[in-house]
């Protein structure tokens, strides 16, 4: 009986080691599977964000062009206003220096 007990103890030690090794392998494989599921979701999210970024860049470029057009129109309007003011000043000067016909 003691011999059987001792033999069983010798058999149990390698079995425990094998069990621990198998547990570690299962944990590693499960971890890899979970990582792959997470990676797939991350790749999908990255692709979505990349599409959004491209859309934002395109919108920004459109706004830049629109801003430039508006700045050009504003500059032309300012020049027209300055020209109108100068013309009005000339007309006022001409009217004030011309002999008055009402007297």
Q: What is the DSSP letter of 101?
A: S
* pLDDT one-digit tens code per residue, 8-26: 888 999 999 999 999 999 9
pLDDT of residue 35: 78
* Gap between the Cα atoms of 102 and 33, Å rounded: 101
What does pTM read for this prediction? 0.51
* pLDDT one-digit tens code per residue, 58-100: 999 999 999 999 999 999 999 999 999 999 999 999 999 877 6
Is residue 41 very low, low, confident or very high in pLDDT (cuts 50, 70, 90)? confident
* Gap between the Cα atoms of 24 and 38, Å rounded: 21
* Gap between the Cα atoms of 45 and 33, Å rounded: 19
Tokens encoding 67: 């801003």
* Mean pLDDT within 34-42: 79
Is residue 50 very low, low, confident or very high in pLDDT (cuts 50, 70, 90)? very high
Better-scored residue on pLDDT, 38 or 48: 48
């Amino acid at each position: 009986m003691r011999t059987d007990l001792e033999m069983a103890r010798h058999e149990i030690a390698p079995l425990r080691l094998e069990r621990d090794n198998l547990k570690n392998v299962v944990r590693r494989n499960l971890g890899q599977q979970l990582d792959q599921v997470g990676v797939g979701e991350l790749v999908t999210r990255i692709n979505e964000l990349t599409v959004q970024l491209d859309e934002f860049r395109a919108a920004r470029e459109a706004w830049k062009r629109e801003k430039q057009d508006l700045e050009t129109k504003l500059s032309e309007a300012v020049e027209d206003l300055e020209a109108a003011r100068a013309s009005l000043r000339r007309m006022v000067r001409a009217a004030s220096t011309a002999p008055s016909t009402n007297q």
